Structure 1
Amino acid sequence: MTGPAGVPPAPARPEAVAPELVARLRSRISGRLAAHTTTASDPPPDALIARFIAEELVAHARDTITDGGVPLTAKAEAALARELQHTFTGLGGLQRWLDDPNVEDVFANGCDNVWIRTTGGVMVRVPPIAASDDELIELVRVAAARSGQEERRFDRGSPSLSLRLSGGHRLFAVMAVSKRPTLAIRRNVLQHVTLDDLVQRGELTPGLRDLIAAMVRARKNLVICGGTGVGKTTLLRAAAGAIGAHERIVTVEDAFEVGLDENTDAHPNTPALQQREPNLEGVGGIDMTTMVKWGLRMRPDRVIVGESRGAEAVPMLLAMSQGNDGSMCTIHASSSKQALSRLAMYVMQAPMQLTFDAANVLIGQAVDFVLHLDVATDGTRVLSSIRQVLETDGTQVTSNEIYRPGPDRRAVPAAPLRADTLDDLTAAGLDLDRLAADRW
């Protein structure tokens, strides 16, 4: 299966490897590793595993011939060796897709109903990633154990798991509440991304790149919104590149994904906070609201909330309006206007039970711009709308859509910016003439 013209091809299907054979040989190798007595002359652990794999493959070929069967081809044997290596040092049948730069999403509806979505938007069904659903559950637990984060459960008592894999990939899995264990992995194709990268990918124009960079330098508070998989976190990460290296940033997320703390050259002073799930007794959990409050006590210049979806909207908006100018967050919304009403809903649902009018006042005082992302008619992720928040009278948040979605959903100029805002942005380096001449 291939995509339309200009779209990267789907990854080539790997040589088929029977999950049952992988499981059987893995069990034999695990037994050898458990029985092995470590000595000073032993090779490194990975090399020892590779040696045992090679020896077991030779033994398997010999047994197959003895039984009158046909041994594996060299290509199939190499694929089997990789699969076995992945079960010990990677994530088993998932690892091949995590390593593939052409894969954007991985979906498993049970061990043998597995799909990938390519960076070109093509959906392809691929071979099983585990020999059984129980083995798939164990694979998810291994991923949690190897994530290097706070231990996260995955069992009937805690049937969902959200975590960040090495490489920045985001995994979410459920069991017990679904007929079969199910997982979705969003690969982080662009970990260290810049606004220039998004221009090259056709997601921004040069003028929009300059406008967003000027907003960040001018310390405007930004809300980045859109549907699932449109690149909200990617744009947030790219926009943060305009923040000076001398500034202290605190990021708060439900599961680590933004990763600004890992780019120590660009953001050397960036602690990253993550909410904590309750323990087996149901205690010890720390929610996003508390994490945002803790982040503010760390005296940041800016706060970045990976995704606002609840009561944490209140301390985040308070931070934006009380001195932490230039803060950012993402939110799910189908338009830039809807993002404001969603924020109001989250504020009103918070324990302090603010009224609708009070929620609008808080939003109007905190948010400067809302950036909405969408998918263009040609399948490209694009910036579709920019809305400037003007003021509020309590009954509503007044705003102007300075860029609106065009016929292909790409942002086109609409209402003008306020004069005082233009002054702020030009002082931050925005070239108004170049912006006026900008085109997709």
Structure 2
Amino acid sequence: MAVTERDLLERLRASVADRMAAHAGGDRLDAAARRELAQRYIAEELDAHARQSLHDGQATLSPQLEAQLAAAVVDALTGAGLLQQLLDDPDVENIDANGCDHVWVRRTDGSKLMVGPIAESDEQMVELIRRIATEIAIGDGGQGEERGIDRNNPHLDLRLRGGYRLHAAVSVCARPSLSIRRPTLIATDLAELTARGMMDPGLAQVLHAAMVARLNIVIAGGTNVGKTTFARAAARAIPARERLITIEDVFELELYDPVAHPDVVAFQARRPNLEGVGAVTMSALVRAGLRMNPDRVIVGEVRGDEVIDLLKAMTQGNDGSFATVHASSSAQAFGRLAMYAVQAPERLALDASAMLISQAVHMVVHLGQTRDRARVVTSVREVTGCDGRDVISNEVWTPGPDGRAVPATPLRAATLDRLEAAGLSARTIDQVGW
């Protein structure tokens, strides 16, 4: 945008901002009403600018430029500002801003590139984050709610309309930092992930049968490898009649569907307020969920003492429950679960933790990335027991040359019987090579 156009944009933005600030009751308008008001005022300002240009004998703005200016002003005052075009781009998956002008995006094809600034200055970037928190964030009750970020509250976690997940930080980093993750493949299933190359058809059919057979599964992997997407897809195999309780730190699973999953209660943990009270932990939510007649309990990401309540649920009638966990390999997932268990208030010993894990978990599915950054299933383990502090397992699918899982050790006969009873065909077993 040329300098004169930039000056005009700033002048229009300031004028509309002043009019909105002076509007009676403007501070009580919801986000939709504020946007409508901004659109009306910018239209009036652009009309006044056109009349003045004609009076002065100057060329008027083109319709395309007027539309561009109007969208920029409305987004700046009521939306996500210069971020909005990135949020509206369906091919953008992640946005990371290290200051206002050092902005990276990762696209759905795995490519990463640097884009233009999201604000004129770091100070404007912080104001943008605050406005997003106030106007387009989704609160506990599904409505926008004001959340502060400053030196005393340097971190901010939000879920935005459209399911975006935002994390921002100020004062604890050299420049304000912002990361936004877009949910992908909300209504997908294992067949679609197979078509996208995440796994081979035989593995997808085995995992589908494992969900139907109510095996307890841990989905493991690093950051941004598709654990939540895989969890959603796996959940599509669960019969619609079942009642699901989901527990998350931040809402991401979004399993409710009027046809596929009509009976879902979604819990979200809550951090303490400035006085240090009001926290609701993941562990407390797991215990609460068990009192709500669940058929399955699903934990979005295990990262603390909630692991003990989840493992107990898996061994006490809530078969078919599953969770995600950060781990660099399928074998490491057991160590992560044990670490959380021994650090919990119950202070389980390592051998007791191993026994509980081996009794609760049937399978671990590990996700990773190939060298070209494709997201794939890399490994599947079947738990077979424990030996002292160690959980014993067979790696039934192991990483192949390109990182994708390939068949290795056969599943145990008892497990295959359960999967066949759940619909896995003998032909699929033959194709896998067992």
Residue by residue over 1:282-334, the C-alpha shift from the partner in whole angstroms, topping out at 9 and shown as x without a partner, is: 21111211122112122211111111111111111111111111011111111
Counterpart amino acid of residue 113 in structure 2: V
Q: Deviations over 1:109-162 (max 9, x none)?
A: 111211111111222221211222232223222333332314543222221122
Trace 1:144-159 onto structure 2 (pairs within 5 A). Answer: 144-145=133-134, 146-150=136-140, 151=145, 152-159=147-154
Q: How does 1:27-42 map to 2 (within 5 A)?
A: 27-36=14-23
Contact 2:95/2:103, CA 8 A, preserved across alignment: yes
Aligned-residue offset at 1:73? 6.0
Q: 2:29 is matched with which residue?
A: none
The one of 332, 335, 345 aligned to 2:329: 335
CA apart distance, 1:64: 8.4
* Alignment coverage as a number of residue pairs: 421
Match among 295, 315, 326 for residue 320 of structure 2: 326
Q: Let me know the Cα RMSD of the aligned residues.
A: 2.7
Give the drift of 1:70. Answer: 8.9
**Aligned equivalent of 1:311, options 276, 288, 305:** 305
Map 1:93-104 to 2 at 5 A. 93-104=82-93
Q: Report 1:193-272 matches (<5 A).
A: 193-261=188-256, 263-272=257-266
Q: Greater shift after overlay, 227-236 or 47-56? A: 47-56
Is contact 1:163–1:171 with CA below 8 Å preserved after alignment? yes
Tell me how far apart the structure 1 counterparts of residues 337 and 416 of structure 2 sit (CA, whole Å).
26
* 1:375–1:44 distance in 2 versus 1, CA, 3 Å: closer
- What is the SS of the residue equivalent to 1:105? strand
Partner of 2:28: none
Distance 1:21 1:186, change over 3 A: farther
Give the match's secondary structure for 1:191.
coil
SS in structure 1 of the partner of residue 246 of structure 2: strand
Task: Identify if the C-alpha distance between structure 1 residues 413 and 64 changes in structure 2 by more than 3 Å, giving closer, same or farther.
Answer: farther
Q: Which amino acid aligns with 2:187?
A: H
Contact 1:20-1:131 at 8 Å conserved across structures: no
Summarize the alignment of residues 14-163 of structure 1 with structure 2, pairs less than 5 Å apart: 22=9, 24-36=11-23, 46-59=35-48, 75-145=64-134, 146-150=136-140, 151=145, 152-163=147-158
Deviates more, 1:57-66 or 1:21-30: 57-66
Deviation at 1:18, TM superposition (A): 8.0
Q: Could you list the per-position Cα deviations for residues 20-72 of structure 1 after superposition, in whole angstroms to 9, with x for gaps in the alignment?
A: 7655533321322343469xxxx976444323223333555777899999986
Maintained 8 Å contact 1:15/1:75: no
Q: TM-score, normalised by structure 2?
A: 0.89
Question: What is the distance in 2 between the residues matched to 1:18 and 1:215?
Answer: 60
Tell me whether 1:346 sits opposite 2:340 in the alignment: yes
**CA pair 248-19 structure 1, distance change in 2 beyond 3 A:** farther
Give the 3 Å change call, closer, same or farther, for CA 110–424 of structure 1 in structure 2: same
Output the CA distance in 1 between the equivalents of 2:98 and 2:57.
37
The aligned residue for residue 418 of structure 1 is: 412
Identity %: 51
* Change over 3 Å in CA distance of 1:360–1:438 after alignment to 2: closer
Give me the TM-score of the superposition, normalised by structure 1.
0.88
Residue segments in structure 2 that go unaligned for 5+ positions in a row: 26-31
Distance 1:351 1:409 in 2: 38
| Amino acid of the structure 2 residue aligned with 1:148 | I
Determine helix, strand or coil for the equivalent of 1:242.
coil
The aligned counterpart of 2:403 is 409
| Unaligned runs of at least 5 residues, structure 1 | 1-13
8 Å Cα contact 1:205-1:438 kept in structure 2: no
Partner of 2:296: 302
Kindly provide the CA deviation profile for residues 244-280 of structure 1, in whole angstroms up to 9, marking residues without a partner as x: 111111111111111113x222111111111111112
User: How has the CA–CA distance of structure 1 residues 72 and 349 changed in structure 2, closer, same or farther, with 3 Å as cutoff?
Assistant: farther
Are the equivalent residues in 2 in contact too, given 1:163–1:256 (CA < 8 A)?
no
The 1:320–1:156 alpha-carbon spacing in structure 2 relative to 1, beyond 3 Å, is same
Distance 1:68 1:132 in 2: 35
Q: Find the residue that maps to 1:400 and give its secondary structure.
A: strand
Contact map agreement 1:336 1:372 (CA 8 A) in 2: yes
The CA distance in 1 between the partners of 2:411 and 2:20, in whole Å, is 67
Q: Helix, strand or coil: the match of 2:224?
A: coil
